[in-house]
Amino acid sequence: KSQSEFLCCACGHTAHADVNAARNIAWAAVIPPIVSETPAGVAPGTSPRL
């Protein structure tokens, strides 16, 4: 096996590792991160009032 090829063990998708990394970096710039922390002053399971 070559380190230059990316293989997803979950779905079998293959791509050149550098191209795959570039796509991941590009998506990270477009999609906001998922934040799992509750904002200060907001009880878990509730939404802040506007």
What single letter denotes the amino acid at residue 26?
Answer: A
In a domain, 41, yes or no: no
Owning domain of residue 1: 1-31
Gap between the Cα atoms of 5 and 18, Å rounded: 8
List, run by run, the mean pLDDT of 10-residue segments along the chain (50 residues).
Answer: 84 92 90 71 63
In a domain, 3, yes or no: yes
In contact, 16 and 4? CB cutoff 8 Å: yes
Q: Give pLDDT, residue 10.
A: 93
Helix (H) or strand (E) holding 24: helix 17-30
Gap between the Cα atoms of 35 and 42, Å rounded: 14
Please state the domain count of the chain: 1
Q: Give pLDDT, residue 28.
A: 86
